[in-house]
Structures are given as C-alpha cells and as structure tokens.
Amino acid sequence: MNQRVIPESHRVFYDTFHFAPAVIDGQNIRCSGVIGSNPDGSVPEDAETQFTLAFESIGAVLKEAGAGFADITEMTTFHIGLAQHLGTFSQVKDRFVQEPYPAWTAVGTTELALPGGLVEIRVTARLPE
C-alpha cells in the first residue's frame, strides 16, 4: 500500500484541498507541486523569496519522507514568465539541488493555482538505501 507523506506544515493542503503533499510508491517519493507561499497562504511579490519558499517546502516534504534534495531524480517546474525569471530561479535551485543533478523539465505556462505565484515545482525522489 502506498504511504501518504503529510508534514504538519502541509496538513492544511491535505485537509482543505484533499491531496497529499507526497506519496511513497515503492522506493519512489512522488511529490505534489508546490508554490512558494508564506505560512498564511499569501504569495510574496519577490521572485527570489517565492522560489526559496518553494524549495523549503519541498525540503520539508522530503525530510518527512526520510529523504533529501540529493535523492531527487526528476524535477518539473511550471513558470509564469519563464524567460524573465529563469536566471533567478536557477540561482535559488542551485542552493538546494546540487550534484548529481536530477532530470529537469521547465515549462512556461499562463496560470498557477495561487494568484501571484511565479513557479510550481514538482519532484520525484528515491528513498535512500
């Protein structure tokens, strides 16, 4: 049976929107997409702050599952203003995700679930041995 991963900091999403922040499927941790928001659900205007909050959120989910950033095997990012923010996003990403780098696909889009959100990040990780 698949195990749901629900850090306390993400419980509101599970309870309100009825989705798990992650599911452990065998050795894989399949994380839902996250947008960089404050604890009250508001989205900061500053791109770097948003990107940092998103990666911190992913880190909390991975930690709850018993993994870390080094265990990420695949990352998909959905961007509002992809070309405009890619440099800043990459700088923030590199503070969290280091070698060996995962597979990564960046997609430009027109809208995300939270108004004002600039990126949604979804990852798959492998449980450490």
User: Tens digit of pLDDT for each residue in 9-60?
Assistant: 889 889 988 999 999 999 999 999 999 999 888 999 999 999 999 999 999 9
Query: 124: which DSSP letter?
Result: E
Q: In total, how many domains does the chain have?
A: 1
pTM surpassing 0.85? yes
The percent helix, strand, coil of the chain (3-state, each to 5) is: 35, 25, 35
Contact 72, 123 (CB under 8 A): yes
User: Is a pLDDT exceeding 80 seen at residue 8?
Assistant: yes
| Residues 16, 55: Cα–Cα separation, whole Å | 22
- CATH at 13: 3.30.1330.40
Domain with 118 in it: 3-126
